Amino acid sequence: MQTRTMPMVLRSRLYLLKENLPDSITGLTEVTEIYAMAQEAAFIDAEHYAVGRWDGSLSIFKVKESAYYGPVIVKAVNGPAQEGIQMLTSLYISSQKGFVSSNSEDSIAVWQLEDLQDWANLGTPKVVKYSGEYGVANRGILITANGKTYVVIGHSNGYISVWLLSGNNADLTFVNGIDIRSEHPVNPWDLHNIRGLADLGGGCVAAGSEDGNLTVVRIPDGKILSAAVYNPDAQRGINNIAYQNGILLVANCAVGDSDNNLWSYKLNSETFQFELADKVWLKIDEMHQQVFNFDVIFDPEAKGIFYSSTEEGALWKGKVNEMGKLSELEYMIVTDELGSALCMKSGILAVASYNIKEFLTEGGAL
């Protein structure tokens, strides 16, 4: 079975079971694999979010407006390279609507609406090239540093690229490329995908990699302020990170009886080191050998409230205090196994896996 482009949750599961799985059938030759599971979801304005899938499709949804139907697909497209969509980053500001998506090993796609039109009018994206050494885009965030707006992108080969956003045409100008690869990856495949990025403020960004490192980088010059493995005993890397008020949450895949898949750290603002505050295994079935924590996000309107989605098809909710201690953990089953991509805005939580579900949080209103 080909595993080069396989979603990490499946790759890890296959690795654990490989001794018991036949890899061929007489007379059959595998040609390709396609996964329709969602890899990424992001709000692109106040009422719309985009979902990218492993089959290369990209769908834009309008949030549910009725008790009888919804959410509604307003636009469905494919990325120019016809490859899986692993990254979506909103470029939405007051004067323009747009977003960036992953495209190929050496390019991203910039999608833009003219004059704040409806997303149904979305046209052909602009393909922006970069060095193929970086690899496909895995995560992106929009930040402000020194009065300028930058798009910061984490790539599959362990690089961060920095782009200056300017004008009303979503113009991206390449500024910097930073190599943050660990010399000793925690995973057995020598993977360095940067799937977690978080804005720490003051022009600093935290990056979480599948090689296990948590790295703080200054934007735009790319100076590395700190770098350390999130768990010296880890067998798998980082899937995503979330930051709020000095607390960083790390989502990873837990393997074995003594591992954990959600870690809480306090940021030391002087050294830019992350100090472990708490950890927990978000797990329902105690017999599972691995439980992949697919995503973690903070509720931007509720201090300390976070959500995670795990391989068991569960959506978890919890609370973290100012010391980084985790509490009030609860879960519900929302989808089939393999996990979900999460995005949130104005009290609306969208959960994307094979299907799409929306939830209203306390105080949220459609």
pLDDT of 96 over the 90 cut: no
pLDDT of residue 288: 84
pTM of the model: 0.90
Question: Could you tell me if 236 and 187 are in contact, meaning their C-beta atoms sit under 8 angstroms apart?
Answer: yes
Domain count across the chain: 1
Radius of gyration in angstroms for the set of CA atoms belonging to the chain, rounded to a whole number:
19
18-32, 130-144, 279-293, 335-349: least confidently modelled range: 18-32
| Statement: residue 287 has pLDDT above 90 | no
What's residue 208's pLDDT?
Answer: 98
341 within a domain of the structure (yes/no): no
Burial of 332 (0-12, 13-18, 19+ CB in 10 A): exposed
DSSP at 128: E
Tokens of 56: 């290369």
As a whole number of angstroms, the distance between CA 302 and CA 100 comes to: 27
Two tokens at 57? 């499709």
Assess whether pLDDT exceeds 60 at residue 19: no
How many angstroms separate the CA atoms of 362 and 354, rounded? Answer: 26
The answer to whether the CB of 300 falls within 8 A of the CB of 313 is: no
SS3 assignment, position 114: helix
User: What is the secondary structure of 296-349 as a DSSP string?
Assistant: EEE-TTSTTEEEEEETTSEEEEEEE-TT--EEEEEEEE-SSTT--EEEEETTEE
Written as six digits, the tokens of 9 are: 């949750």
- SS3 of 102, please? strand
Give how far the C-alpha of residue 212 lies from the chain's centroid of Cα atoms, to the nearest Å: 15
108 in a structural domain: yes
Examine the pLDDT at 67 and tell me if it is beyond 90: no
User: pLDDT tens across 183-215, in order?
Assistant: 999 999 999 999 999 999 999 999 999 999 999
Judge whether 306 lies within some domain.
no
Q: Any idea what DSSP says for residue 199?
A: E
Nearby residues of 105 by Cβ (< 8 Å), 6 or more positions away? 132, 135, 136, 156
Domain extent, residue 112, equals 36-129
pLDDT value of position 4: 47
Say yes or no to pLDDT of 1 above 70.
no
> Between residues 26 and 151, which one has the greater pLDDT?
151
Amino acid at 186: V
Structure tokens that stand for 200 in this block:
């720490």
One-character DSSP codes across 144-168: EETTEEEEEEEETTSEEEEEEEETT
Do the Cβ atoms of 334 and 316 come closer than 8 Å?
no
Would residue 103 count as lying in a domain? yes
CA gap 172, 170 in Å, rounded: 6
301: left (phi over 0), alpha (psi -120 to 50) or beta: alpha
Which of 183, 318, 177 has the alpha carbon at shortest distance from 242?
318
Q: Say what the pLDDT of residue 278 is.
A: 99
Task: Please give the average per-residue pLDDT across 356-360, as a whole number.
Answer: 92
Q: Please report whether residue 9 resides in a domain.
A: no
Output the pLDDT for position 97: 86
